Amino acid sequence: MRRSLMAAFALCLAAGSALAQEAVKEPIRLDVVDDSLPKSLTGAPGDAVAGKKVFLTRTLGNCLACHQVTSLKTEEFHGEFGPSLDGVAGRYTEAQLRLIVADPKRIFTDTVMPAFFKNDGLSRVRPEFVGKSILTAAQVEDVVAYLKTLN
């Protein structure tokens, strides 16, 4: 009896750890082709209006912390870390923009810009962010759609 209880307990533990493992998300793998990500991360086009919101929201893209955009001059405090994004749609293809947002270090190896769609290979990530990327696939697509409007 005692042995079977122990076995049942062990089984519970095993089931528990299996569940815990399921909770950890798989590392994101990007289909990089020639310094770009040709395929939509969601399989669908993004929404530029939603993308502008993600771009501006400090807990999401917070892109203005580092970049300047003339058409957003009503917004305060454009940063100087990164280049101006005026005309960025003319400088990069959609597929290149997607990789620059998702994981810019694949192209600009020394950049300080964070990868917005990467969830592993990072150091001492706060527990609430472990296994999570800064943006979701859909949010990346929305930001890319917004960047495409910056002609």
Partner 1 sequence: MLSRYIRLAVAIAAAASVATCASAEEPERKGIPAPPGHVFKTIISGYQFRSKETRALQDDDLENPGFLAVERAADAWKKVEGSEGKSCMSCHGEAETSMKGVGAAMPKWDDKLAKPVNLEQRINICRSEHMKAEPWKFKSRELTDMTTFVRYQSHGMPVAVKTDGPMSPWFERGKQTYYTRYGQLDLACASCHERNNGKFMRADFLSQGQTNGFPTYRLRDQRLVPLHERFEGCMFDVRAEPFKPLSDEFLALELYVAWRGIGLPVETPSVRN
Q: φ, ψ for residue 142 (rounded to 5)?
A: -65, -45
The encoded tokens of residue 34 equal 């020639």
**Smaller CB separation from partner 1, 53 or 78:** 78
Looking at beta carbons only, is 14 or 122 nearer to partner 1?
Answer: 122
Would you give the distance in Å from CA 35 to the centre of its chain? 17
Query: Do the Cβ atoms of 140 and 75 come closer than 8 Å?
Result: no
Our CB check for partner 1 shows the closer of 22 and 76 to be: 76
Core vs surface per residue 68-90: b (16+ CB within 10 A) or e: bbeebeeeeebeeebeebbebbe
Taking the least distance from each CB to partner 1, the nearer of 40 and 133 is 133
Q: How far is the CB of 101 from partner 1 (least distance, A)?
A: 14
CB of 120 to partner 1, least distance (A): 11
**Measured from the CB of residue 83, what is the shortest distance to partner 1 in angstroms?**
12
- As measured in angstroms, the least distance from the Cβ of 14 to partner 1 is 28
Q: Which residues bind partner 1 (CB under 8 A)?
A: 64-66, 76-81, 112, 114-115, 122-127, 129, 132, 134
C-alpha dihedral sign at 1, 13, 18, 137: positive
